[in-house]
């Protein structure tokens, strides 16, 4: 038990314990005595041990006699529970988008759980051919430091100057949204850059859905919302100018609460070596994604 917890801490992942049956065999023969562990499924020897007593004592001990519950090892078919087509396999993805029926799923306690998402229309007419849809988390954000709370865009502009002329009255009614890619990139810096640039722009967005019958090309969702929410302070740090010492001191003690996560797919079009977002212009190099993209379906 102790070693399992230590390992979990090192790797940062939760492992499952799998119970596997072994035979303990005490062999006496003319040449002497030996102890062997046999694989009880394949019947092949696993290991010979010089001294069987430690294992035998454990087996005879009271702890072993206590009843306990085995959890069942189950395999979840890697296909869309809605339409039955296989999900595109991307080793790092935790959000699985079905390009056939356009439903999105995540594994939860051994079952597929459906997630809701929205799509940001490209605004171009006719719509672009084969855009890449990249998922972002958008979270309602509250900042708190030295007893002072900030939760509207007007509040945030006191710390970080707005990118354009704004109407303060309107801004005082607008919540602060932080954006973080739901995708891992080869260089983690790309996640911070895209997140802070989109957060800085605070785009006014119309939320839509994918067209019926379309087979959208999506980047795999590989950054969980829990991990994204840990990046709040980094995004805030990127918004506040280095020269603003007062704001930076305020930020040192700041608690960043990211709430009500929504998953939004943004359209990116290929421009030379880059994928460029079609509304805000934020971009990343085409080979920056951690996972290869599948061939687009036409
Ligand atoms: Zn499906």
129-163 tens-digit pLDDT: 889 999 999 999 999 998 999 999 999 998 888 87
Contact 39, 22 (CB under 8 A): yes
Contact 150, 159 (CB under 8 A): yes
Q: In what order do the strands lie in the sheet with 22-29?
A: 22-29, 32-39, 45-49
Residue 5 lies in a domain: no
- Quote the ligand 1 centre to 151 CA distance (angstroms): 38
On whether both 41 and 185 belong to a single domain, the answer is no
- Quote the ligand 1 centre to 44 CA distance (angstroms): 42
- Quote the ligand 1 centre to 269 CA distance (angstroms): 24
On whether both 228 and 163 belong to a single domain, the answer is yes
On whether both 109 and 55 belong to a single domain, the answer is no
Worst-scoring range by mean pLDDT, 37-46, 103-112, 259-268?
A: 37-46
Residue 88 lies in a domain: no
In the numeric block, the tokens 């596997």 are attached to: 20
Could you list which residues have their CB under 5 Å from ion ligand 1? Answer: 80, 82-83, 98, 100-101
Worst-scoring range by mean pLDDT, 21-25, 63-67, 186-190?
A: 63-67
- Quote the ligand 1 centre to 171 CA distance (angstroms): 40
For residue 118, what are the domain limits? Answer: 95-285
pLDDT-based confidence at 294, cuts 50/70/90? low
Q: Is residue 284 classed exposed, middle or buried when 0-12, 13-18 and 19+ CB atoms within 10 A define those classes? A: buried
Last residue of a domain, one of 68, 85, 104: 68
Residue 293 lies in a domain: no
- Quote the ligand 1 centre to 102 CA distance (angstroms): 6
Q: Alpha-carbon distance 27 to 89, whole Å? A: 48
Residue 149 lies in a domain: yes
Residue 280 lies in a domain: yes
Which residues pair with residue 241 across a beta bridge?
A: none
283-285 and 274-277: which strand pairing? antiparallel
- Quote the ligand 1 centre to 205 CA distance (angstroms): 27
- Domains in the chain, number: 2
On whether both 124 and 230 belong to a single domain, the answer is yes
- Quote the ligand 1 centre to 78 CA distance (angstroms): 11
Which one, of 6, 283, 264, 233, lies nearest residue 133 by Cα? 264
Q: What is the pTM of this model?
A: 0.76
On whether both 233 and 143 belong to a single domain, the answer is yes
On whether both 62 and 27 belong to a single domain, the answer is yes
- Quote the ligand 1 centre to 131 CA distance (angstroms): 20
On whether both 49 and 122 belong to a single domain, the answer is no
Residue 225 lies in a domain: yes
Residue 201 lies in a domain: yes
Packed helices 232-239 and 188-201: angle between N→C axes, nearest 10 degrees: 60
Q: How far is CA 169 from CA 26, 142, 150, 173, 263, in A?
A: 83, 19, 15, 7, 28
- Quote the ligand 1 centre to 96 CA distance (angstroms): 10
On whether both 64 and 198 belong to a single domain, the answer is no
**pLDDT of res. 97:** 96
Which residues pair with residue 213 across a beta bridge?
A: none
**pLDDT of res. 285:** 95
On whether both 143 and 215 belong to a single domain, the answer is yes
On whether both 58 and 134 belong to a single domain, the answer is no
- Quote the ligand 1 centre to 127 CA distance (angstroms): 23
| DSSP summary character for residue 152 | B
Worst-scoring range by mean pLDDT, 70-79, 156-165, 212-221, 253-262?
A: 70-79
On whether both 49 and 192 belong to a single domain, the answer is no
Residue 89 lies in a domain: no
On whether both 254 and 109 belong to a single domain, the answer is yes
pLDDT for residue 207 is more than 70 = yes
């Amino acid at each position: 038990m102790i070693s399992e917890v230590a390992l979990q801490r090192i790797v940062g992942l939760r492992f499952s314990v799998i119970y596997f049956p072994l035979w303990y065999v005490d062999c006496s023969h003319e040449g002497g005595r030996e102890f062997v562990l046999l694989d009880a499924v394949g019947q092949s020897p696993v290991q010979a041990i010089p001294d069987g007593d430690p294992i035998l004592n454990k087996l005879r001990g009271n702890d072993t006699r206590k009843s306990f519950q085995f959890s069942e090892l189950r395999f979840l078919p890697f296909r869309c529970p809605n339409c039955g087509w296989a999900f595109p396999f991307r080793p790092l993805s935790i959000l699985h988008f079905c390009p056939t029926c356009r439903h999105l799923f995540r594994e939860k306690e051994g079952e597929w759980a459906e997630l809701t998402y929205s799509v940001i229309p490209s605004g171009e007419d006719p719509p672009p051919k084969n855009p890449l849809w990249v998922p972002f988390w958008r979270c309602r954000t509250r900042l708190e430091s030295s007893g002072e709370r900030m939760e509207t865009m007007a509040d945030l502009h006191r710390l970080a100057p707005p990118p354009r002329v704004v109407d303060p009255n309107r801004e005082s009614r607008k919540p602060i949204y932080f954006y973080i890619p739901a995708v891992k990139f080869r260089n983690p810096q790309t996640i911070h850059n895209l997140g802070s640039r989109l957060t800085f722009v605070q785009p006014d967005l119309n939320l839509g859905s994918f067209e019926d019958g379309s087979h959208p090309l999506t980047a795999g969702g590989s950054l969980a919302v829990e991990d994204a929410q840990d990046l709040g302070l980094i995004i805030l740090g990127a918004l506040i100018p280095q020269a603003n010492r007062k704001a930076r001191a305020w930020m040192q003690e700041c608690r960043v609460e990211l709430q009500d996560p929504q998953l939004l797919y943004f359209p990116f079009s290929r421009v030379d070596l880059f994928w460029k977002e079609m509304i805000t212009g934020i971009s990343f190099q085409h080979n920056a994604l951690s996972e290869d993209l599948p061939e687009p379906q036409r």
